[in-house]
Amino acid sequence: MNEHDSTELEARLPDQEYYRPPPEFVGQANVTDHAVYDRFEEFPDGFNEYAELLTWDDRWDEVFDGSDPPFFEWFVGGSLNASVNCVDRHLAERKNQAALIWEGESGEQRTITYQDLFRQVNEMAAVLKEVGVEEGDVVTLHLPMVPALPITMLACARIGAVHSVVFAGFSANALADRLGDADSDVLVSIDGYYRRGEWLDHKAKADDAIDAEETSVETALLWSRHDELHGDVELTGEDPYVLVDDVLAEKRGARVEPVSRDAEDPLFLMYTSGTTGKPKGCQHRTGGYLAYAAGTAKYVLDVKPTDTYWCGADIGWITGHSYIVYGPLALGSTTVMYEGTPDYPDRSRLWEIAERYDVDIFHTSPTAIRQFMKWGEEHLAGHDFDFRHLTTVGEPIQPEAWQWYYDHVGEEDAVIVDTWWQTETGGHLITNLPALDDMKPGSAGRPCPGIEPALYEDDGTRIEPASGRAGNLVIERPWPGMLQTVYGDDDRFIDEYWRRFSETDSDDWRDWVYKTGDGAVHGQDGYYRVLGRLDDVMNVSGHRLGTMELESAVAEVEAIAEAAVVAREDTERGHVPDVYVVLRDGVEASEAVRQQVIASVEDEIGAFARPDRVLFVSDLPKTRSGKIMRRVLENISNSEDLGDTTTLRDPSVPDQIRQQVQTDGGESPRS
Ligand code: WTA
């Protein structure tokens, strides 16, 4: 669906039953009283409750400053250090407790206690200082799921440097874009890592990103996946590489004084796809973000210091930042990290890990659940795991997948918590607090304490609450976890999130309404059911991709005159991109061109974004003013009615496309 076309949303799902949280869960939960909602209704003071979970160097003078909307400030005048909150302050009580449990794909197991983490974060902070990183610098991390990643993040936080973690699956070009946009001259990478038993040369991506025109990397810190660099890697001495292990060897036992950061100083950037070709750097603040991540990890995920908590996301995305690293560590619990894929060496890997560490809380995505479902419950059989709390995030979960998760992973005695939020929001915004309300498959549930969502019509009128009608999901009141701005581009921040539903000439923060880009329904029971994106952003296997980003990757191919990308629904992966291309005159449609398109997407974005259908068509559906009507293509891809085509310049185009698609399915044989 394209927000500029008419948004016809429908709530097609039949009404679902409710499930009670098990009494044993309720009896032990962190939040057991609905009064929490009343406390947070005191805006903004309710949010003090989250900030008070942290250790501050200076307490804040003012909870919220809304005087310059939409540039809100939280816990104004307060100062703190995030690494102290996630590490140092736990030493007195639990220095020998595991902070991180890491399992490598090839089976290595490493337990890092809070004391170990303290030592390693300090030593890495000393390494960063040694190579000249200073407070406020942006350090780009391109690291897979190895302990070096959270250690480097926390080391940055310790010295007040702003980390920008780029998901390891991103290509060299995508990394270069993000380095360039953030003007980041320090890159942290690694020689390689394992995926399905194969060694991936990761440094090759760093090499190409460093050579790219848009980057000016002065120092590239290179970790080694094993105790020494992988045999294939050789350094010439002429490049900007510094081996982390070499500098670490000189920094054994180093202690680095944590920098006291203003609550409003940025903690990190997280690039995410939007509605233009260029990803945007969501900038998150130190105090408000950490308070919100810790608060929601405690109230929603029910994390306790005694828990072993495992989130299967990658730290390269926001879920991993908030709910593998910052939230659980701020609360002093044990967080599990796994390097590899769930089907290596076989499809019971995850359940073996859950059993081995006796994981209490497990967090995954609907895409993963659909995959487990397809693989079959026999892979869970015989594994002695016992979860009390299961989370899902990233896409709407179909009731069948919910039910499977509940029956087979939760064994009917765990709560299922469907959490709706975004990179921009820093933490959960809509989800039930697990002990307070009944679960309803397919619905995220109530707004989190202090959060005020609403649904608006396209024209900006507010839809009556609990009407059961679908609309644009907005948030009417600020919260501490929200992004500060788009890095280096305040105008884009306003354009993307505020302009559509706010009175942008008002100085009163109450007139500023945050646009989420999602559509949702608010039921009579007060539960929100999120329907998905209304703008040109899609979620592919839990990865957020922009239509425009994909289209510009496709347009790089010489043979292509024009391209449009739309989301096709896929029973397993949620959505997959369908690429429609018009070839230049004189170029013939061929498997070779199709492969070039796929290769270009892999180069520009990463292999995880690989489209499986490239459809050759002779024209694209366009309005009289020449705008591509992606909605028509989306209907074709999803075998739906074409909808209103009267505004098309050439109304015969959709039928031609439909025929072309039927003749040539667009798929190439998978290698
Ligand atoms: C979608 C991930 C339905 C939504 C934390 C949102 C969801 C986008 C849910 C953000 C959910 C996330 N139910 N849809 N529980 N959670 N989404 O930035 O479309 O990677 O706008 O953040 O994922 O994706 P992002």
Predicted confidence band of residue 228 (pLDDT cuts 50, 70, 90):
confident
User: Average pLDDT over the chain, rounded to whole?
Assistant: 94
Nearest Cα residue to 264 out of 290, 296, 241: 290
List CB contacts of 103: < 8 A, sequence separation 6 or more. 109, 110, 336, 337, 338, 339, 353, 356
Instruction: Please check the confidence at residue 496 and state whether its pLDDT lies above 90.
Output: yes
Beta strands in 385-513 (DSSP E): 389-393, 415-419, 453-456, 470-475, 485-486
Asked if pLDDT for residue 421 goes beyond 70, the answer is yes
Is a pLDDT exceeding 80 seen at residue 82?
yes
In short, whether 497's Cβ falls inside 6 Å of ligand 1 is no
Minimum mean pLDDT range among 312-321, 371-380, 651-660: 651-660
For the record, the structure tokens of 547 come out as 């239509």
pLDDT score of 642 more than 60: yes
Cross-strand pairs, 575: 569
DSSP states along 324-361: IIIHHHHTT-EEEEE-S-TTSSSTTHHHHHHHHHT-SE
CB-CB contact of 39 with 24 (8 Å)? no
| Beta pairing class for 308-311 and 514-522 | unpaired
318: Cβ below 6 Å to ligand 1?
Answer: yes
The C-alpha angle 369, 424, 507, rounded to 5 degrees, equals 150
Nearest in space to 74 (alpha carbons), one of 258, 260, 259, 262: 262
Kindly give the number of the ligand 1 atom that is closest to the alpha carbon of 392.
15
CA distance 192 to 222: 10
Question: Does position 671 have pLDDT exceeding 60, yes or no?
Answer: no
Number of H helices, E strands in the chain: 21, 30
Q: What is the pLDDT of residue 536?
A: 87
CA proximity to 456, closest of 476, 469, 471, 478: 471
In degrees, rounded to 5, the angle at the alpha carbon of residue 281 between the alpha carbons of residues 278 and 283 is 160
pTM: 0.94
pLDDT higher than threshold 80 for residue 11: no
Among 346-355, 370-379, 616-625, the minimum mean pLDDT is found in: 616-625
Residue 3, pLDDT score: 41
DSSP state of 241: E
Whether 630 is in the pocket of ligand 1, judged by its Cβ within 6 Å, is: no
Q: Convert the pLDDT of each residue in 563-607 to its tens digit.
A: 999 999 888 888 899 999 999 999 999 999 999 999 999 999 999
The share of the chain scoring above pLDDT 70, in percent, equals 97
Distance 393 CA to ligand 1 centre (A): 6
Q: Is the pLDDT of residue 206 over 50?
A: yes
CA of 230 to the centre of ligand 1 (A): 37
When pLDDT is averaged across residues 354-358 and rounded to a whole number, the result is 98
- The whole-angstrom separation of Cα 399 and Cα 278 is 35
* 133: its two tokens: 């990183």
**Within 13 Å, how many C-alpha atoms sit on residue 102's CB side?**
21
pLDDT (average), residues 344-356: 97
Cα–Cα distance between 302 and 405 in angstroms, integer?
18
Pocket test for ligand 1, best of 421, 424, 497 (most atoms within 8 A of CB): 421
Residue corresponding to tokens 């949010």:
47
- How far away, in angstroms, is 529 Cα from ligand 1 center? 12
Task: Find out whether 454 and 474 touch, Cβ atoms under 8 Å.
Answer: yes
Residue minimizing CA distance to atom 12 of ligand 1: 394
Q: What is the pLDDT of residue 670?
A: 52
Cβ proximity of 565 and 546 under 8 Å: no
Amino acid (1-letter code) at residue 520: A
* Single-letter residue type at 68: D
Condensed to tens digits (0 to 9), the pLDDT of residues 90-103 reads: 999 999 999 999 99
What's the pLDDT score for residue 207?
96
| Mean pLDDT of the 43-62 span | 98
Residue 255 has a pLDDT of 98
Atom of ligand 1 lying closest to residue 444 CA: 15
Residue-level pLDDT at 13: 59
Owner of token pair 């191919």: 557
Nearest CA to ligand 1 atom 15: 420
Among 296, 539, 540, 545, residue to substitute to test ligand 1 (most atoms within 8 Å of Cβ): 539
CB of 321 closer than 6 angstroms to any ligand 1 atom? no
How far is the centre of ligand 1, averaged over its atoms, from the C-alpha of 446 (Å)? 15
Question: What pLDDT band is residue 5 in, cutting at 50, 70 and 90?
Answer: very low
Q: What is the pLDDT of residue 6?
A: 38
| DSSP secondary structure letter of residue 88 | G
> What's the confidence (pLDDT) of residue 234?
81
Residue with the two structure tokens 């499986």: 612
Interval 152-202: pLDDT, tens: 999 999 999 999 999 999 999 999 999 999 999 999 999 999 999 999 999
